[in-house]
Chain A
Amino acid sequence: MSLPCGIRNFSYHTDIAIIRTKTQWVLFILFMLALSVLPFYLPRSWFDTVNSIGILLIAVVGLNILMGYCGQLSLGHAGFMAIGAFTSALLTGNLHVPFLLALIISGLSAGLIGLIFGIPSLRVKGFYLAIATIAAQFIIIWILQNWTDITHGSNGLDVLPASIFNWQFDSEIKQFYLIFTFTIISVLFATNLARSRIGRAFIAIRDNDLAAEVMGINVFRYKLLAFFLGCFLAGIAGSLYAQYRGHISYEDFTFQQSILYIGMLIIGGLGSSLGPILGTVIIETLQKSLTNTIAPWLEHTMTFMPTGFSSGLNLMLFGLAIILILIFEPRGLAHLWALFKSSYRMWPFSY
C-alpha cells in the first residue's frame, strides 16, 4: 500500500493499521457520520436500492473471500444465499426462534452446505470447480422448488420483519440501520481477515496452490475454510434479505443472480476490500436507474423496436461491462482508484 510522502512507520502495529493518517481518520469518521444520517435525507424511492446494496454487499464480500482471496470460483452463490434465506424464514416463522439466533444458524447452514460443494476443490480447480458450483446452484434451487411441504414452491414463504428483544424493525429507516450494521461488521471482518494468517494463506493458495502446499499450508483445510466463510456470509445476506423483503420464493435466487455477484466483484476488483463495495454500489445503482428511468424512456422514444425490448438492455450492458473491464482493467475499479490516489499524491510528478 502506498502512503503519502513523509509518512513513516515506527512500529509494526502502525505499519499494518488499516487507517493510518490523520486525513484518513477524518475521512473515515465523516463517512461513518454521513452513512448514519443518510436515511434522514434519502428520498423514499431510494431506500429500496440502498438497503439492497447493503444486503448484496454482504454476499459479495463473502464471494470476495472465496474468489478474490482464495481463488476458488463459485457460480452458485445465489443458491447459498437461498439456503440462508429459507433457513431463517422457517426458523423465525415456524419455530419462533429469535431473529439473531436464526441469523447465525442460517449463516452456519449455508456454510455447511457450501463445505459439501467445496470438497471437490481438493482435487479439481478452475473450470471443474465452476461446473460443480453450477450444479450446486441448480440442485439447491431444485430442492427448494420441489420440497413444497416446507418451502411452498413458487408460492413462497411470508417472513415477518426482524425483531431483536421486542424491538421491531418494521420501517425502511429501521431496516437501514439493521442491514448496515451487519454490512459494516462483515466488511470489517473481511478486511481484517485478509491481513491475518488465514488471509495470507488464502492468497498463497490463490497464487499457486502447489507452492502453498509445499510451504506447509494445509491447502484442503484453508480451501474448505474459504468455502465456509464465503457461504456463511451469503447465508447471513440471505437471512437479511428474507426479513427485508417479507416474502421469498426460490425464484428470487436464480443462476443469473449468481453471475451478477461475480460480475459486481470483477467490476469492482477481485481481492481488495474496496472492490466489492465499489462494484456493488455502482452496479446496483446503475441497474436500478436503468430499469426505473432509462428503460421506460427508451421504450417511449424508440417505438420502431418491438415492445419489451428494453428488458434485455440490463443484461446486455452488464455483460458488456464485465467484458470491457476484463480486457482493459482486469484488476477492476479498485485498481483505478488506487492509481488515481497515487497520481494525486505524486502530483505534479505523477509518472
Chain B
Amino acid sequence: MDILIQNIITGTATGMVYALIALGFALIWKSSRVANLALGQLVLISSWFAYSMLVQFKFPFWLGMLLTIAFAILLGWLIERLALRPLIGQPILSLIAITLGLAYFLEGLTAFIWPQGQGNLPKVFPQTSFQIGPAMIQQELLWAAVISLILFILLSVFFKYHRMGIAMRATADDQLAVQACAVPVNRVFSMSWIFACVVAAIGGVLISSIAAINYGLVETGFKSFSVVILGGMESFLGCIVAGPIIGLCETFGGSQFGSSVKELIPFIIIVIVIMIKPFGLFGEERIERI
C-alpha cells in the first residue's frame, strides 16, 4: 500500500516535469508549426549554464536563476532569428532537419564549453522527505511538480487573455489572415521560441537540481516527445494530462518489470499511440486537401 502511494506521487511529480518540457514543444508548434527536436539539448545547455553561474561563479541562487533565464531568452531569440526565420515557408522536412542540426550544434557546444560531462547543481529544495500516510515522499519532487503546475497555469492564462497570447493562437490558426490584421508574425515566432527556451531552462534546472546534469537530460527531452504525442501536439491541457500518465506508467512499469524497462516505456507508448490514435488525446485531427 505504501509503495503504491509512493509510486503514484513520484510518478505524477516526474510526469509533471516531463509535461513542463513538453509545454515548450507545444508552444513552438502551436504558433509556428515547427517541430522542435532539439528539446533535450535546450534543456541540457541551459542546465549547464545554470551550473556555470551557480557552481563555477558562485552567484547566489536568485541571481543565477535570473541570469539563466536571461540566457534562455537570448538563446531563443538567436535560434529563431538565425536558424528558423530564413526557413519560413520551407517544406516540413527542412524544418525538422534544421532542428536536428540545431540539436547536434547545441550538443557539441555543451561538450565544447563543459567537457566534464557530469555536474551537480546545488540543492534548491529542502532535502527532507516527509510522510503521507504510510508513504515516504521526496519533498523536492513535489516542489518541482508544483512549480510546473504554476507555470502551466500562468502560460494558459497568458494564452487566453494577453494580447500576445491571443496573437500567438491566431497565428497558429492562419498566418496569412493574421498578417493582414497587422499582427507582427515574426515577433510572434520569436516570442514563442523565447518562451519555449525559458520553459526548457526552468525544467532543466528543476530536473538537474534533483538528479544531475549529464547526457540523460537529452533523453528526458526524447521522453517528453511521448507526452507531446499522447496529449496531442496543439494542446497545453494535453501536455499536463499526458505528462502524469507517462510518469505513472514509467514508475509502475519500472517497479513491476525492473528499472531497465522503465527507460523503454515512453517509446512503447509513442508507438502504440501513433498506431491507434495518432493525433493524441486532445489534438485536433488535420483534414488535408489537395
Q: Which stretch (B93-101, B130-138, B175-183, B248-256) binds chain A? A: B93-101
Chain A 84-138 interface residues, beta-carbon cutoff 8 Å to B: 117, 119-120, 123-124, 126-128, 130-132, 134-136, 138
Nearest CB on A from B27, distance (A): 15
A138 to chain B, nearest CB (A): 5
With a cutoff of 8 Å between Cβ atoms, the chain B residues found around residue A255 in the complex are: 222
A316 pairs with B87, CB closer than 8 A: no
A127-168 contacts to B, CB under 8 A, are 127-128, 130-132, 134-136, 138-139, 142, 145-146
Q: In the complex, which residue of chain B has the Cβ closest to the Cβ of A131?
A: B225
User: Which residue, of B35, B86, B100, B278, has the highest number of chain A Cβ atoms within 10 A?
Assistant: B100
Q: From A142, which residue of chain B is reached at the shortest CB distance? A: B264
B-side interface mostly: helix
Docked CA distance A142–B271 (Å): 14
5 contacts between A and B (CB under 8 A): A130-B35, A135-B268, A138-B222, A307-B115, A326-B87
Enumerate chain B residues within 8 angstroms of A314, measured Cβ to Cβ.
108
Across the interface, do A318 and B274 meet the contact criterion of CB distance under 8 Å?
no
Is residue A9 within 8 Å, beta carbon to beta carbon, of the partner chain?
no
Shortest Cβ distance from residue B98 to the other chain A in the assembled complex, whole angstroms: 5
- Interface status of B83 (Cβ within 8 A of chain A): yes
Chain A residue nearest in CB terms to B79: A323
A125–B263 Cα distance when bound, in Å, is 25
| Residue of B114, B233, B278 with most partner-chain A CB within 10 A | B278
> Which residue in chain B gives the minimum CB-CB distance to A212?
B290
Within 8 Å by CB of A326, from B101, B110, B222, B270, lies B101
Task: Tell me the complex Cα distance, A262–B116, Å.
Answer: 28
Binary interface encoding of chain A residues 326-349 relative to chain B, with 1 for a CB under 8 A from any of its CBs, else 0: 110010000000000000000000
- From A135, A138, A311, A327, B115 is in contact (CB under 8 Å) with A311
Number of A-B contacts (CB under 8 A): 151
Cβ–Cβ < 8 Å partners of B94 in chain A: 326, 330
Q: Is the CB of A210 within 8 A of B289?
A: yes
B158 at the binding interface (Cβ < 8 Å) = no
A119 to B275, CA, bound (A): 8
Write the nearest CB–CB distance from A153 to chain B, whole angstroms: 10
Find A312's partner among B112, B222, B260 (CB 8 Å cutoff).
B112
- With A312-B107, A319-B101 already in contact, the answer to whether A139 and B290 are too (CB < 8 A) is no
B interface, CB within 8 angstroms of A: 35, 37, 83, 86-87, 90, 92-94, 96-98, 100-116, 222, 225, 228-229, 233, 260, 263-264, 267-268, 270-271, 274-275, 278, 288-290
Q: Is the CB of B113 within 8 A of A309?
A: yes
User: Please, how many angstroms separate the alpha-carbon atoms of A119 and B271 in the complex?
Assistant: 10
Which chain A residue shows the least CB distance to B35? A127
Closest 9 CB pairs of A and B: A312-B111, A316-B108, A319-B105, A315-B108, A322-B101, A319-B104, A312-B112, A127-B35, A308-B115
B90–A330 touching, CB < 8 Å: yes
A130 and B271: CB pair below 8 A? no
Interface centre among B93, B110, B115 (most CB of A within 10 A): B93
Nearest residue (CB) in B for A136 is B271
CA distance A130 to B225 in the complex (A): 11
Which listed residue, B87, B111, B264, B289, touches A138 by the CB 8 Å rule? Answer: B264
User: Chain A residue with minimal CB distance to B270?
Assistant: A135
Partner of B96, one of A127, A138, A256: A127
When chains A and B are docked, how far (Å) is the Cα of A322 from the Cα of B38?
A: 14
Nearest-Cβ distance from residue A279 to partner chain B, whole angstroms: 13
Contact of B98 among A136, A311, A318, A326 (CB under 8 A): A326
Complex CA distance for A73 and B110, rounded to whole angstroms? 27
Residues of A within 8 A of B288 (CB): 210
B271, A323: Cβ atoms closer than 8 Å: no
In contact, A259 and B87 (Cβ under 8 angstroms) = no
Chain A interface mostly: helix
User: Given the complex, which residues of B lie within 8 Å of A216, measured CB to CB?
Assistant: none
Name which residue of chain A comes closest to B83, CB basis. A323
**Is B96 a contact of A319 with CB atoms below 8 Å?**
no
- Are B96 and A130 in contact, CB atoms less than 8 angstroms apart? yes
Q: Assuming A120-B274, A139-B264, A146-B260, is B98 touching A323 (CB within 8 A)? A: yes
Q: Which residue of B lies closest to A139 (CB)?
A: B267
Contact across chains for A132 and B274 when beta carbons are under 8 A apart = yes
Interface size class of A (residues with CB under 8 A): 35 or more
- Enumerate chain B residues within 8 angstroms of A317, measured Cβ to Cβ: 108
**Is A263 within 8 A of B100, CB to CB?**
yes
Q: Closest Cβ of chain B: how far from A205's Cβ, in Å? A: 13
Q: Please measure, in the bound complex, the distance between the C-alpha atom of A326 and the C-alpha atom of B228, giving whole angstroms.
A: 26
Interface check A266, CB cutoff 8 A: yes
| A67 and B93 alpha carbons, distance in the complex (Å) | 9
B290→A208 contact, CB < 8 A = yes
Among B92, B94, B105, B113, the most chain A Cβ lie within 10 Å of the Cβ of B105
Q: Does A33 sit within 8 A of B, measured CB to CB?
A: no
List residues of chain A with CB within 8 A of the CB of B108. Answer: 312-319
Q: How far is the CA of A120 from the CA of B83 in the complex (A)?
A: 30
A316-B112 in contact (CB<8A):
yes
Closest-CB distance, A122 to chain B (whole angstroms): 10
Any B CB within 8 A of the CB of A7: no
Complex contact A131–B278 (CB within 8 A): no
* Further pairs besides A126-B96, A136-B271: 17, Cβ < 8 Å: A123-B278, A124-B274, A128-B274, A128-B278, A132-B274, A210-B288, A307-B115, A310-B112, A312-B107, A312-B113, A315-B105, A316-B105, A317-B108, A319-B102, A319-B103, A322-B98, A330-B90
Q: Does A276 contact B (CB under 8 A)?
A: no
Option from A139, A313, A316 in Cβ contact (under 8 Å) with B268 = A139
Contacts of A136 in B (CB 8 A): 271
A1 at the interface (CB under 8 A from B): no
Chain B residues near A214: list those with CB within 8 A: 290
Pair A320/B105 contact, Cβ less than 8 Å? yes
Tell which of A117, A131, A142, A263 touches B104, judged by Cβ atoms closer than 8 Å.
Answer: A263
Give the docked Cα–Cα distance between A76 and B102 (Å).
Answer: 18
